[in-house]
Amino acid sequence: DAKTTQPTSMDCAEGRAANLPCNHSTISGNEYVYWYRQIHSQGPQYIIHGLKNNETNEMASLIITEDRKSSTLILPHATLRDTAVYYCIVRVGGTGANNLFFGTGTRLTVIP
């Protein structure tokens, strides 16, 4: 699976949009971009994933560049509960893949 690069940490004011970038310049054509987050002392939580089109769900939006070498996770109105480590992962879609490589992620701190 392709590796990703994310900033170590970011701050965001409560109520503002949080934009978390991710570089994945070696992504293959059949690899999806997944985002998970981990709140302190909890298991990771799935947020969103996409292949090449932008995606939106009730939690966030995912913007993938046309060349697919980078993406941005957008939390439209960050709350204090969004403080967590956010992991960008690229991997082949479908079940059965046995190594979800988490990397170091971005520690997002939402500030009151």
Partner 1 sequence: GAVVSQHPSWVICKSGTSVKIECRSLDFQATTMFWYRQFPKQSLMLMATSNEGSKATYEQGVEKDKFLINHASLTLSTLTVTSAHPEDSSFYICSASRQGYAGELFFGEGSRLTVL
3-state secondary structure string, the chain?
A: CCCCECCCEEEEECCCCEEEEEECCCCCCCEEEEEEEECCCCCCEEEEEECCCCEECCCCEEEECCCCCEEEEEECCCCHHHCEEEEEEEEECCCCCCCCCCCCCEEEEEEC
Residue span 10-39 as binding mask against partner 1, x where in contact by CB under 8 A, dash where not: ----------------------x-x-x-x-
By CB under 8 A, residue 102 contacts partner 1: yes
Task: Figure out which of the listed residues 8, 58, 67, 94 binds partner 1, where binding follows CB under 8 A.
Answer: 94
The residue among 36 and 84 lying less far from partner 1, judged by its C-beta, is 36
The residue among 29 and 96 lying less far from partner 1, judged by its C-beta, is 96
Contacting positions for partner 1 (CB under 8 A): 32, 34, 36, 38, 41-46, 49, 87, 91-105
